[in-house]
Amino acid sequence: MELNITTEKKNSLLGRTEVYGTVTFEGATPSNAQVSEALAKKYGKDTDTVVVKHILGKFGGITATFEADVYDTKEQLLKTEPKKKEKAAGTAPAA
């Protein structure tokens, strides 16, 4: 897997770097966790401070585009990113 950064925008108000780029891969499209790990390594940050918004690939292709945010600190991430709702235990899915 190879990452190519096409656009990098520093957002100092939110304490993050907004990253856009392409990823070249073999086989299946890489998961958000794999791209997050690669970006954390590239920027010298912890994986907890990287949020991959989406990865868009074309059917049968070996490249995909991605959008991600690399936060300066974990606290900035918690202030900015929306909280995920937890599923209620014991509820059945709608039929």
Residue ranges and CATH numbers for the domains of the chain are 2-71 (3.30.70.330)
Tokens found for residue 8: 């990098």
> What amino acid occupies position 69?
D
CA distance linking residue 39 with residue 70, whole number of Å = 8
Instruction: Match 């990452």 to its residue by tokens.
Output: 3
Instruction: Match 């974990």 to its residue by tokens.
Output: 74
Calculate Rg over the CA atoms of the chain: 15
pLDDT of the chain along its 95 residues, tens only?
899 999 999 999 999 999 999 999 998 999 999 999 999 999 999 999 999 999 999 888 999 999 999 999 999 999 988 887 777 776 666 66
